[in-house]
Chain A
Amino acid sequence: MTGLALGCRINRKSLFDRKHYFYADLPAGYQITQQRLPIAVNGSLAYSICVGKKPAQVVPRTVRVKQIQLEQDSGKSLHDDLRSQTLIDLNRAGVGLLEVVLEPDMSCGEEAATAVRELQLILQALGTSQANMAEGQLRVDANISVHHPGEPLGIRTEVKNLNSARFLAKAIDYEIQRQISELENGGEILNETRSFDYKLGCTVPMRDKEGKQDYRWFMPEPNLPPLLLYDSGSLPAGVDPQQVINIDWLRERLPELPSVTREKLVRQYGMLPEHSVALLNEVGLLEFFQNVMKETRAEPKRVTSWVLNTFLGFLKQQNLAVSESPVTPAALAELLDLLDRKAISSSAAKKVFEELWRSEGKTPTQIVAEKKLELMQDPEELEQLCRATLEAHPGVVMDLKKGNPRAINKLIGLVRKTTLGRADPAVIKEVLERQLSS
């Protein structure tokens, strides 16, 4: 499915090989992988990066997928320097994993991090993996080299086992700078394996043998016969459907991919592309947005803004996941409805939201009533307040008449203050202008 989602050519027959190396975290002394004929080849991964701050421009990029191979995970060596011991965690040793090999089409840490993020979203959409990097479900080995334009690629180093997109970007950018200054100082780049020290923010050569290539060659894995896949045309008759894989069947059942979801958001709601990116970037955020949309009459633009700015801002501030939010989509929808029919001002809406976040169980309508946050619906009351304000501040009125355009804002502010923020500034302005000109 990953191969199909990345537009790969799926090999109807793929083979397994043994890669020999003698290391304690590999209990069998070899890793089963797909060296000669992997399950999928020649695909591509499209992603977009944001260039420039404001206004941000979304630029599409593509990285070619060389191949996707199935292999075994290894164990994990934990070095105890104090007791000069190495402990080995074999819990993942021998567990199957999928490796996606990308071509050298990326040129900075951010591109790589964004591409990996996109891959992560695709894997999650497919259900191939939960792809949680912090838990090791998705790990990245980055190969980095530098070269002058027009020249062939330089000698590369490999930074292994990067377990967050942020470290990936940092490690790559560090390594690029390190290699450039190394070369500029007349040094040379070794084809070596390095690891990223996230505390120091730099890459260091790996001290153990994991980096060294074994002198022995791959051997066909004798315990695993070739993996045969079929399509509807080549499916042998009378086989147990549980025992064979039909590529066409899988292709028909591919879920919607993140790029399509984003396009739909842009088309359906007139959303900015970067907003569609932001909605997909947080687990559960898109669903939250869609649930709000279902229940509110508010404009998509307003909902997007509230979800991405206010709601996400609160989550980030308290380091919460969408699923942990104290505000439900229904509550936000109700709040946005109040705003939409001008029952409350947007500043009042902010207060209601804060209140919603703090005190679970109350509806926005209850909060508005309790805190008296509803906009003044009686035009006569507002007329009187405006008139009183004009009479109380003749100096400002004089200013205005002399032609100071900012004086009107001051008057609006004064009226709002007396209404305790319950009147719409636009309406206040209208009333004030009418009273002044009469």
Chain B
Amino acid sequence: MSNNLLDVQNLTMKFGGLIAIDDLSFSAKKDHITSIIGPNGAGKTTVFNCLTGFYKATAGSMYLNKDNNKMDLKKFSDFRVAQKAGVARTFQNIRLFPQMSVLENMMVAQHNKLMVASGFSILGLVNSKSYLQKEKEAVEISKYWLDIIGLTNRADDNAGDLPYGDQRKLEIVRAMCIEPHLLCLDEPAAGLNAKESAELNKLLKFIKNDKKTGILLIEHDMSVVMGISDHVVVLNYGKKIFEGTAKETKNSPEVIEAYLGTED
């Protein structure tokens, strides 16, 4: 199992008496897009919150295989998951820094790297050459990603002023700026029109193939899920009810039952 990027074993999350995730095990591969689908309230976002350190899982284990170096995600709390383990995420309701410019959003994502480069602000205060060089590189990286999503000409505008679809894409490339090994996307296609969804598919495929970043995807839009997923995990009431390829999932009676109910 060494080629798995993410190994989740027997993950359980309880809120008081409510069991949000019940003994969930799944894995995700490095150059795969793994989708987690399921009806509303199935516990998909809770899985993300456990993975990215926003919740502390009640039981179970989560291992990230980072360059043949097994990291226990449970050891990291909130921001350290992104900082140390390289797990980035986006949110169901977009969380940009709306009053800051697009470029600034990208620069904040490179905070830890720049913080070290600026000598924890001391070198930065005296305008040291090495810091200015690093800052320039960070701008280049931002420009690279903004070129890909076609937002370079709006780099100096406030992120909150962008159209909705662009905000979604910006949030994804902002997460890519921390150079993650695993990118967790929480409903990236929500509210997008058909054209924007197609662009999103292209972007995600690019991240998977060219950046070799594993993607974990929560999505309701089946055209996105079926179009790009290599592997699908179906949850219902916190339990895994099916796991397989997109095609297998589409024809699985358990999945159809969970979504549509049974015939009497």
| Same assembly | no
Binding site for B on A (CB under 8 A): none
